[in-house]
Structure 1
Amino acid sequence: MEIFKKCLHIKNFIKTYSLLFLVYLVCLVSFNSDLSVDPENIEKYRAELTEYVRNNIHTIRDQQNDRKLHIKKVCEDYVIDKSKKELKQISQSLDLTPNELAKLKTPNFPYIYHAKEQNFVWCGVPKAGSSTWTYNLLKLAGTETNNSTKIHKILRDYYPKPKNKSVFRGTFKFMVVRHPFERILSAYRDKLEDYSRDKEYRDGYYYEHFGKYIAKKYRDPTDEIEKKEPSWREFIAYVIDTPISKFDKHWIPIWTLCSPCNIKYNVIAKMESFAVDTQFILEEGGLDDELQVEWKHHTGTGQSGDLQREYYGQLSQAEMKKVYNKYKLDFELYGYDPQIYYDLAFDA
């Protein structure tokens, strides 16, 4: 009888251990780079996240190599070793000017930040983890603030704009990208949807420079709309009609900011796999002793299906395809699929 009890105890222990191990595996799988991670989960599973990245470092490197090879191929298709005549034809097919297309391979120093002591370069893309990495750079510089508006204003005080391409030699380089349709929705909600928010944090800058114009030009005078802010559909009409060179940095295509055909990035992180990719940056860049994975200013990030449906369900298939054309190079360069958003739109 005593032996039976011991065996039963061992059996129960094994079952309990197996269950705990299964839960642990589920936690690790939740950090798979193809899945999104909510901000609160970063805090809760930081130790597991670090272990996951270190245990899967070779797999993540392979994924990064695939991203970089894909970008190289797209660059070859559009700008690398192309004649002036070819570039003119390509720019016309994309509804771009040759000067706009040239941004694919021209360093855009206003968005480049060089941390000399840590020997890395970050290209900051607004609405793609920029608040998090601005906070990180200020932390490395020995100053911290939780004021999300102030941090962007003071960053250049510590990291002056580079003067030439020498900053790219021998440095660890990374950037963060995001699904174009998610990014422009986040930009609209953060900057244009709520005037009181704009007034409080930015003295009404976005309403004065964009919102007022958009509402005036695209609002049907017969519509009984009391709000002064532009609606989502009015913003989309503006995006479709406006040359990208006149876009604000928060919704201009990413490829215009970070010169993907000129700068050879070590890591192309994605907001959709932000936790894993950020931890990978810390590991590969030798920053894991100075920084940890955090997520600042995540308003509109990891948007729910209901939220996507609420906004993109207002647009027609034809409108969606026109918006896609504005961001076509972002979709192609960074491997994003527009179809899930097309499925939300209505047939005109």
Structure 2
Amino acid sequence: MPYFRISHFFVFVLASLLVTIFMFMKPGPFGSKWKVDTQREVANNIQMEQIRRKAIIKSVCRQKNSQKSENINRNKLQRIIVEDDFQLLYCEVPKVGCTNWRRLLLTLGGHVKVPPESLTGKYVHSSQALRSLSSYSEDEIRVRLQNYTKFLFVREPFTRLVSCYRSKMERPNPYYHNYVGRMILREFRPNADKSLLATGDNVTFSEFAQFVIQHNNFNDGHWFPIENICYPCDINYDFIGKIEHISVEAPWFLESVGVPLSYSRHKATNDPRTDVALTKHFVQQLSHEQRKALYKFYQRDYEIFNYSRPEL
């Protein structure tokens, strides 16, 4: 009967499919080759992307008449952390996973004897164990810049700004509320409640954005443009990662430089991460003029790191 023949046909197809899947999943030449091919493809993609990112940086810097100098101002090296054992130079960019990179570097350098993920953010940022490149002599700086692997990770600028607001203004943060929050409320909220003026609490994203716009020389690395933190037009970075792809790029990079540790993401919480949707929610609270002014403030980061221009 036709039904009997069709049923057998589908059974045959299903069995063949299962055997094929099994061959690629089980240990052995087939599964191993598939895994190797996948790893090879990932590596090729990342390497090609690195070539593209470096070419864009070089092109943008050339257009802006930014020329690399052999003698780099020591002030431009303050954010670069040195790891001598593995010959790494990491430019630390706040709100781009820097706490996790600090955890990893503290463990890598033998400064702590516990797993990186067990270290608190407060501990890793207060630790004096990690040394800045700016603290070395001129000769020591030159040797490290020439021979060490220099890397950084970047982030979409508006998303980084929103992440900063949520971390420093929206959530409890006594230092930033008392220092920056009170300043913002005094300047941008007429007739603010005295209790808020005393604490610096309840700053809106619009008020925070206006502060960033009008005080664009307020040098706080949490929202300062990455160009003015890591100076990619002055320093030839060997690896430019993006936090949007960190789950793929960080493991590949660490393996490529022989680091025996993995990059651990933050522990899951009930507080959602700052993603594209959340960024859009906050940016929509700004006026057209504020969005234009913020884009102008971060324009170089958008161009140098090839992020799409946001809707203004």
Query: So what's the TM-score if we normalise by structure 1?
Result: 0.72
Matched, 1:319 2:309: no
Partner of residue 93, structure 2: 125
Kindly indicate whether the alpha-carbon contact (under 8 Å) linking 1:173 and 1:265 is maintained by their aligned counterparts in 2.
yes
Q: What is the one-letter code of the residue matched to 2:16?
A: I
Pick from 295, 302, 309 the counterpart of residue 331 of structure 1.
302
In 2 relative to 1, CA 8–231 (structure 1 residues): closer, same or farther, beyond 3 Å?
closer
Residue of structure 2 in register with 1:175 after alignment: 152
Which residue in the other structure is 2:212 paired with? 239
Q: Which residue in 2 is equivalent to 1:280?
A: 252
Shift of 1:237: 0.8
Q: Does structure 1 residue 139 correspond to structure 2 residue 112?
A: no
Change (3 A) 1:332 1:11: same
Q: How far apart are residue 127 of structure 1 and its match?
A: 0.4
- CA radius of gyration, larger in: 2
- Distance verdict in 2 for CA 1:49–1:69, change over 3 Å: farther
Confirm or deny: 8 A CA contact 2:157 2:302 kept in the other structure: yes
- 1:207 CA displacement: 1.4
Q: Structure 2 vs 1, CA of residues 7 and 72 (structure 1 numbering), >3 Å: closer, same or farther?
A: same
1:206–1:329 distance in 2 versus 1, CA, 3 Å: same
Structure 2 SS opposite 1:121: strand
1:151 to 124, 145, 164: 124
Q: SS of 1:238's equivalent? A: helix
Instruction: Give the Cα–Cα distance (whole angstroms) in 1 for the partners of residues 61 and 288 of structure 2.
Output: 28
User: Aligned partner of 1:212: which letter?
Assistant: R
Call closer, same or farther: CA 1:56–1:228 in 2, change over 3 Å. Answer: closer
Count of aligned residue pairs for this structure pair: 282
Counterparts of 1:237 and 1:64, CA distance in 2: 35
Q: How does 1:84-123 map to 2 (within 5 A)?
A: 106=73, 108-123=76-91
Distance 1:253 1:12, change over 3 A: same
Find the partner of 2:237 among 247, 265, 280: 265
Distance 2:219 2:92 in 1: 16
Query: Structure 2 unaligned runs (5+)?
Result: 25-33
2:170 is paired with a residue of what secondary structure?
coil
Q: Which residue pairs with 2:13 in the alignment?
A: 11
Q: Deviations over 1:8-28 (max 9, x none)?
A: 654212344678999xxxxxx
Q: CA deviation at 1:6?
A: 8.3
Q: Which whole-Å CA distance do the structure 2 matches of 1:17 and 1:223 have between them?
A: 71
Distance 2:302 2:64 in 1: 14
Residue-by-residue CA offset, 1:287-317 (whole Å, 9 max, x unaligned): 2xx1113213786645151x22321111122
In 2: Cα distance, 1:264 partner to 1:333 partner = 13
C-alpha distance after superposition, 1:25-58 (max 9, x if no partner): xxxxxxxxxxxxxxxxxxxxxxx99984443212
CA RMSD of aligned residues (A): 3.3
- The answer to which structure, 1 or 2, has the higher relative contact order (CA under 8 A, 6+ apart) is 1
Counterpart residue type for residue 99 of structure 2: S
| TM-score, normalised via structure 2 length | 0.79
SS of the equivalent of 2:95 reads coil
Q: 1:308 to 1:259 in 2, by over 3 A?
A: closer
**Residue matched to 2:45:** 59
**Quick one: which of 238, 252, 256 aligns to 2:224?**
252
Q: Which segments of 5 or more consecutive residues in structure 1 lack a partner in the other structure? A: 23-47, 83-101, 199-203, 343-348
Q: Is the 8 A contact 1:148 1:297 kept in 2?
A: no
Residues 1:189 and 2:166 are matched in the alignment = yes
State the distance in 2 between where 1:111 and 1:8 align: 62
Over the matched positions of the two proteins, sequence identity in percent amounts to 26
Aligned residue for 1:208?
A: 178
Q: For residue 61 of structure 2, what is the aligned residue in structure 1?
A: 75
1:318/1:58 CA distance change after superposition, 3 Å: same
Relative to structure 1, the CA distance from residue 9 to residue 124 in structure 2 (aligned partners, 3 Å threshold; closer, same or farther) is same
Displacement of 1:78 in angstroms is 1.5
